Structure 1
Amino acid sequence: MGRRSERLSKQGMLAGDGSGEGDVIQVVSRAFDVLRCFEGHEARLGNLEISNRCGLPRSTVSRLTHTLTRMGQLVYLPRDQKYRIGPSAVAMSSSMMKGLQLRNLIRQRLADVAEQLPGTVGFVIPDRFHLVYFEFARSASALGLHEVTGSRISMASTAAGAAYTAALQPEIGDALIAEMEREVPDSAKLLKPRIEANRQFLREHGYVVTCGLWSPHINGLAVPLWSPQYQTVVVVTIGLLAAMYDEERLHREVAPLMIELGRAVGGLLEGAEGDFLNSRLERKPIAVAVHNNNKPITSEGVNDLEAGTRRARSARSVRARDGRR
């Protein structure tokens, strides 16, 4: 029993481990694939559109949407002959989003950085081959990047995705890329050649940078964290106009703020592990990290965490596995 729980928890790191397909009830997996197609509450999709989006036969989609409608997860709109997210799905997601104080505190931390940098700052969580914005904050002067809560971004073409995959234990990250090669080969081709360099940079600096990958006009920087609640890596990230923030400026000016943001959000996650309303969740001003020769220096009190290990760990920072404890 313990070994099975260990395996399932480890597979959860990459939200779909191909090596564990024997443990997955396929119809449940496909039902969630259908629900993932509805990215917004107002999205309206027919069976053909759902079939094209999730790569399932239309007959299979028809059976799944019928069942999901009877469960209240979807609602059928006769006039449009399409579906939209149903009340049961909304209620379930609302119940999962309890602990609004924690979310508000995370949002405030993101806003602290957004007040200092003209970009979009986000806190994202993994969902198969994508990452989803759990919270975000945007500078009033931000241009070029307009993600909102619930937006899904590619794992292969963003700084957040680069940081997430680099922070995974190597065998977990390699398994994820292998699954991507089977299901989304174009994404795998984009991510695979860069993952070793990303791991090395994360070990040395505590963050990952991508320039012009998602868009030629956007550069990004991301810091991975360990979430005790979900036993997985989550990420704080920022996107900025490339014309204003080239790679050198990202390292020099943006990295210290984002590393400090990672510490702050990590502390909130760690304190909220047992109680979202814990009195320890206090807001403190974000300070710029001390750096030397434009290289951020982490404080001695910050753990260098091995992503993917099974022991409980601090959420304050995550670096790719390098043998340190």
Structure 2
Amino acid sequence: MGRRSERLSRQGMLASETGDGDVIQVVSRAFDVLRCFEGHEARLGNLEISNRCGLPRSTVSRLTHTLTRMGQLVYLPRDQKYRIGPSAVAMSTSMMKGLQLRNLIRLRLQDVADQLPGTVGFVIPDRFHLVYLEFARAANALGLHEATGSRISMATTAAGHAYTAALDPMIGDALIAEMERELPDSAKLLTPRIEANRRHLQEHGYVVACGLWSPHINGVAVPMWSPQYQTYVVTTIGLLSAMYDEKRLHREVAPQMVELGAAIGSLLEGADGDIFANRIERKSLPVTAHNNNKMIKTEALNELEAGTRRPRPARSVRAGDGRR
């Protein structure tokens, strides 16, 4: 692996997010175009794509022509619009081969959703957003309804605040600087909270965000290192603020989310081993000990990375590859 590839692997993110000048812009812009298509049924014209990704219409026209020739997009003559093509669908499907792992993750999410009236998600970063890979919802969930493939803002969600807090500070600061150039309003929401988020994550293993995405929604999120994706992924939950204020989030929701993060972190760590060997076992989530409503932290509860067989507390997470 070359030096540039090694650097991207260590950082777990694109060079464009860290300010590197060695990014091939046409490739970056092609992916910006593909990101505009949220959902398999989305139909967009060149003008709509231009407005969504902020590129000149002439540039978008050349990119959509090329992507169509490659099978990444399909042109619909009657509508004079484009939609996601078979090559893009096939590529995304091939990248999601770990269906057994995803099923186990979904079961873990449902364990928590059955106890809390909210939407529980497992998300992965995509530039300044996060994408739901899996989700679960309580039967009586109110207020927040996401689905697999939904994109959420990094700046206005607990998941985004947890992800940026988990990054090595230099990489996190570079990402925020890039956000300031492209999405200044979003950066204004994230920047004032980043240091407090980092401290709280180090001390407690989770991040809380209240009323940022909507005044009616509060959230808790736990990041963990994914060896498969070489980046942080996040488990998160959104709940009605009228039912769960910030104190109740810390007292009742955070312990369950930290346990969920530890369980999924263990699944991710073992994804290349026994998890695909037909010896899959669904174990119950660990029970957190409490003392006067304060969570008693164990080594497993503050896990932010997979890579060692024995979980370590958040303070011991190493730097050098984008991890803290």
1:21 deviates by 2.7
Q: Per-residue CA shift, 1:30-68, capped at 9, x if unaligned?
A: 110000000110000000000000011100000000010
Helix, strand or coil for the counterpart of 2:223? strand
**Do the aligned partners of residues 108 and 15 (structure 1) sit closer, same or farther apart at CA in structure 2, a change above 3 Å counting?**
farther
Structure 2 distance, partners of 1:235, 1:167, is 10
Structure 2 distance, partners of 1:318, 1:125, is 22
Q: Which residue is equivalent to 2:19? A: 19
Read off the aligned partner of 2:94 and give its amino acid letter.
S
Q: How does 1:1-325 map to 2 (within 5 A)?
A: 3-13=3-13, 16-22=16-22, 24-274=23-273, 277-279=276-278, 281-301=280-300, 305=304, 312-313=307-308, 319=314
Retained in 1: the 8 A contact 2:206–2:223? yes
Retained in 2: the 8 A contact 1:169–1:320? no
Retained in 1: the 8 A contact 2:12–2:231? yes
Structure 2 distance, partners of 1:151, 1:15, is 24
**Do the aligned partners of residues 213 and 50 (structure 1) sit closer, same or farther apart at CA in structure 2, a change above 3 Å counting?**
same
Helix, strand or coil for the counterpart of 1:240? strand
Structure 1, 32-41 or 88-97: larger mean CA deviation: 88-97
Read off the aligned partner of 2:8 and give its amino acid letter.
L
Unmatched tracts of structure 2, length 5 or more: none
Helix, strand or coil for the counterpart of 2:71? coil
Structure 2 distance, partners of 1:12, 1:260, is 24
- The aligned length equals 320
Helix, strand or coil for the counterpart of 2:236? strand
Retained in 2: the 8 A contact 1:264–1:316? no
1:12 deviates by 3.2
Over the matched positions of the two proteins, sequence identity in percent amounts to 78
Read off the aligned partner of 1:260 and give its amino acid letter.
E
1:255 deviates by 0.9
1:256 deviates by 1.0
1:198 deviates by 0.3
Helix, strand or coil for the counterpart of 1:49? helix
1:230 deviates by 1.2
Structure 1 distance, partners of 2:291, 2:13, is 34
**Do the aligned partners of residues 128 and 187 (structure 1) sit closer, same or farther apart at CA in structure 2, a change above 3 Å counting?**
same
Structure 2 distance, partners of 1:188, 1:302, is 30
**Do the aligned partners of residues 304 and 101 (structure 1) sit closer, same or farther apart at CA in structure 2, a change above 3 Å counting?**
closer
Root-mean-square deviation (CA, aligned residues, Å) is: 2.3
Q: TM-score, normalised by structure 2?
A: 0.92
Structure 1 distance, partners of 2:230, 2:137, is 28
Helix, strand or coil for the counterpart of 2:109? helix
1:84 deviates by 0.3
Structure 1 distance, partners of 2:294, 2:279, is 31
Structure 2 distance, partners of 1:227, 1:315, is 15
1:10 deviates by 3.3
Read off the aligned partner of 1:198 and give its amino acid letter.
N
Structure 1 distance, partners of 2:152, 2:310, is 23
Helix, strand or coil for the counterpart of 1:64? helix
Q: Per-residue CA shift, 1:119-143, capped at 9, x if unaligned?
A: 0000000000000000000001000
Q: TM-score, normalised by structure 1?
A: 0.92
Unmatched tracts of structure 1, length 5 or more: none
Read off the aligned partner of 1:253 and give its amino acid letter.
E
Structure 1 distance, partners of 2:222, 2:99, is 23
1:284 deviates by 1.0
Structure 1 distance, partners of 2:293, 2:299, is 18
**Do the aligned partners of residues 317 and 146 (structure 1) sit closer, same or farther apart at CA in structure 2, a change above 3 Å counting?**
farther
Structure 1, 209-218 or 4-13: larger mean CA deviation: 4-13
**Do the aligned partners of residues 315 and 93 (structure 1) sit closer, same or farther apart at CA in structure 2, a change above 3 Å counting?**
farther
